[in-house]
Structures are given as structure tokens and as C-alpha cells.
Structure 1
């Protein structure tokens, strides 16, 4: 279905992880506006609603007001100043999160043209684990994977064997 190239590799791994842990009968609140992966979830039989682009650092009302049994946050937490509060406001008992891992050979991502497309946090895996633990979540499963590129150079070569993404399934304690 998906090639082994980015973002298809990421989508394939994420969908397999989702299917491993979440039944299609569950209702999913996907943090972030509709995106290519939320469309993939819908195409694969999941019931998905997205947040509307509100700044979750200031307005967690969607987390409180929508009806859902699972939250997904795929490449969202690195954009938030305060993911701690978001995690505290989630009312479901299940969450799937993916984050880009901090890379020692590359600075945090910052778009030159889009003020919202910036990474405030680029976590190490233990930092996300600790954040989940402190907000009352227990990690059930996780996976790390690489981010290949078709560019030439030292950093693109490192990306072939350095894990870039961390995907976590957790349940409320």
C-alpha cells in the first residue's frame, strides 16, 4: 500500500501501530486539523474527528467537549508550549502519540515562512515517557523508526540509521 519512502514509511508504520492497539469501533479525536494521515485513518474504517486549529495551549475546550474514546496526536506535541496541560485535559483512557526525536546533528525545525510550523520541543524518548508518567499515563507499547531522505550529504546518511520518530501507545493509570 505504501512505499518505504517518507512520508509513506511513517504512514505505514503509524497505521500498523494504530491497528494493533485501537479497534475500528472506537471514536478518535485527532489533535490537529484534518491532514493526510487523518484521511488515511478514515479510509481504513476509523471514526475520526479533528480539532479545528485552535491553539491547544490556550484553548483545551475541544478536549473537554467532544465525545471520543481515543486521542491521537501525530507530530503535534512538539508544536505545543505546554503539552502537560493538554495531556491532563484528555478525557479518554487511550492515547497514541508520535513525535520527532531530537537529533544531535540537526537543530529544532523552524519554518522560514509559517509562524505556526515550528518545533518548540524536540523530545528525547525519555522526556515524552516522563511527561506521560507525570500526567497519569502508562506506556503500553512504543516503537522508534528512521526518516530516510533522498538527499546527498552527511546528515542524510545519518538519517538512514538514526531514529527520528517515536510512536507511543499509552493508557490512563
Structure 2
């Protein structure tokens, strides 16, 4: 069913995880500008509002001023220098986060042309777990999954076996 609807495995797994933990009555603040997955959430009956593309390291006014019951942060925290204060300033009791995991065979992603599209953090799962715990969140569910690429080579082969993404549902303690 999903194979024809979604562009990739990551969106399918993420939507299934979201449906497991958030109800359609939740109002979601999705960190980051509107994106293909926020559109998928809306198309599947979720009420989603995105942040405006502001630098969340400096401007967390949307976290404080918007009305929402849950936050989603899909591949956002690796772009922030300070995800700690973002997690502290979330006013809901529910959060879904996905991050790309640090891969031992691949360096951190760095764009030479786009100041926003670089990874300041490439987390290991335990690092995100500690960050959540230190900011008052309790992990209720988590999954890791691979993201194979359609290329030939040693790294693409490793991507079939090595988890690339970590997806977490947490609630405020």
C-alpha cells in the first residue's frame, strides 16, 4: 500500500510510528519549514503547523507562543548547535524526533553552499537518549532502521545492514 504512496521507506516507517503514538486530535508543531513529510501528515488527517525557518538556536518564540499538543522534529536536531534549549522550551508533553545516526564509515554531512544544510551533530542513539533525559523527557518508544541507497559500492552495501535513522517518541516526565 505505502510503496506507491510514499517516496521512500523512511516516510512509511515514520508515518506508521506517528500513527502509533499521536492521535488525529493532536495539534502538531513540526519543527522546520513545510516539507514533504509535513504534507504527508496533513494528507493523513493530522493538524500540522510548521515553524517558519527561523534559526531555532536563537529564536524559539514559536515553541513558546504557538498552541500545540505535540511536537515533531524530523531530521532537525542535527542542524542545531543547541538542541538542549529547544527541548527545554517545548510546552507540549509529547514529542517525536528522528535523527540520522552517526555512521562509522561516513563523515558528518557538510554542505559547502548552504549554511542551513549541515550537520553540527551526528548523534549516536545514546547521545539523543541522554539529551532527552537531561531536558526532562522520558522515552516511551524507539526504533532504528536502515536506509539503503541504489548505488554500487562498499558504503551502499553497509547501508543495507547499518541503521541510519533513529526515531523516538518521548513524553515529558
TM class by shorter chain equals over 0.9
| 1:1-173 equivalences in 2 (<5 Å) | 1-3=1-3, 8-173=8-173
Uncovered stretches (5+) of structure 1, i.e. residues with no partner: none
C-alpha distance after superposition, 1:143-172 (max 9, x if no partner): 000011001110000000100000000000
SS at 1:129 equivalent: helix
Report the Cα distance in structure 1 between the residues aligned to 2:19 and 2:159, rounded to whole angstroms: 26
Displacement after TM superposition at 1:93 (Å): 0.1
How large is the RMSD of aligned CA atoms in angstroms? Answer: 1.2
Gaps of 5+ in 2: none
TM-score (norm 1): 0.97
Cα drift, residue 7 of structure 1: 5.2
The DSSP-based 3-state class of the residue aligned with 1:163 is coil
The separation in 2 between residues aligned to 1:156 and 1:3, in whole angstroms, is 21
Distance 2:143 2:84 in 1: 22
Listed one character per residue, the Cα deviations across residues 41-73 of structure 1 (whole Å, up to 9, x for unaligned) are 000000000000000000000000000000000
Moved over 2 A (4+): 1-4
